[in-house]
Amino acid sequence: MTKSDSAKVVKTKANPKVSPKAVAKPSVLAKAAKWAASSATMSGAIKGASKGASNGANNGSIPPPTPQEPLPSPYPLPTPQMQGKEGAKKTTKSQNAIAILRADHALVSELFSEYQKTRSLPKKRALVAQICHELTVHAQVEEEIFYPAVKATLKDKALVPEATVEHATLKELISQVEGHEPEGEMFAARMMVLCEYVKHHVKEEQNEMFPKVKSSKLDLKDLGSRILARKQELTPVH
């Protein structure tokens, strides 16, 4: 080996050219150790500050933190008054006349069922009063609003007159139980006849009149709004 070759070897060993790809990346374990040490230092600082605040509070030098009041919600819960108004608007918009009358029928049926089950005299008295009120209001809104609109739209000469006559009989039966003590076999008989008569009237309305009304051009939503408004006028506010 010549002197020039030896010089080249020495130069190469002293200043090797290292490829950027060959540079070793920091060890993952070393990073983890560094992170752990940093976390330990921070945790110790937090614990020290917390302990100092606690001791200060116990010694009376630092007042305990005052719990903060929650921030007011940008969307406050509706009050009962708001719910009532919104509920009334929603009901008026979503229910048509037939839906309202069907709901009345279902309510009265449930009240009769409750009356037949109970043995409590005060409860019977309250149920009789409610049944009579619901039937009276229902018949009145039908005679004032629903029946005239149906008769005019359907050019009806049978269904509406028959239903009106049935209402007259219904009112007579109501007068025989309303305001009377719910006692004795005659009162029980009158309530039974009233219940059966209402079932007959409801069946005819729902099976004969309502289908024809639904297939007509009658504006049932507008009619429903008027019926609801009138029912509210006829219902006493306690």
Residue 86 lies in a domain: no
Residue 211 near residue 87 (C-beta atoms within 8 A): no
Residue 71 lies in a domain: no
Residue 82 lies in a domain: no
Residue 220 lies in a domain: yes
Residue 53 lies in a domain: no
Residue 131 lies in a domain: yes
Residue 225 lies in a domain: yes
3-state secondary structure of 71: coil
Tens of pLDDT along 139-181? 999 999 999 999 999 999 999 999 999 999 999 999 999 999 9
What span, in angstroms and rounded, lies between the C-alpha atoms of 125 and 95? Answer: 31
Q: How confident is the model at residue 238 (pLDDT cuts 50, 70, 90)?
A: low
Angle formed at CA 100 by CA 97 and CA 101, multiple of 5 degrees: 85
Residue 149 near residue 223 (C-beta atoms within 8 A): yes
Residue 78 lies in a domain: no
What span, in angstroms and rounded, lies between the C-alpha atoms of 105 and 41? Answer: 76
What single DSSP character describes residue 100?
A: H
- pTM of this structure: 0.61
Give the Cβ contact number of residue 195 at 10 Å: 19
Question: For position 186, which CATH number holds?
Answer: 1.20.120.520
Query: Domain residues for 190?
Result: 97-234
What span, in angstroms and rounded, lies between the C-alpha atoms of 114 and 123? Answer: 9
The number of domains in the chain is: 1
Give the Cβ contact number of residue 188 at 10 Å: 14
Residue 191 has pLDDT above 80, yes or no: yes
Residues 6+ apart with CB under 8 A from 137: 231, 234, 235
- The average pLDDT across 177-191 equals 96
- The average pLDDT across 52-64 equals 47
What span, in angstroms and rounded, lies between the C-alpha atoms of 71 and 48? Answer: 31
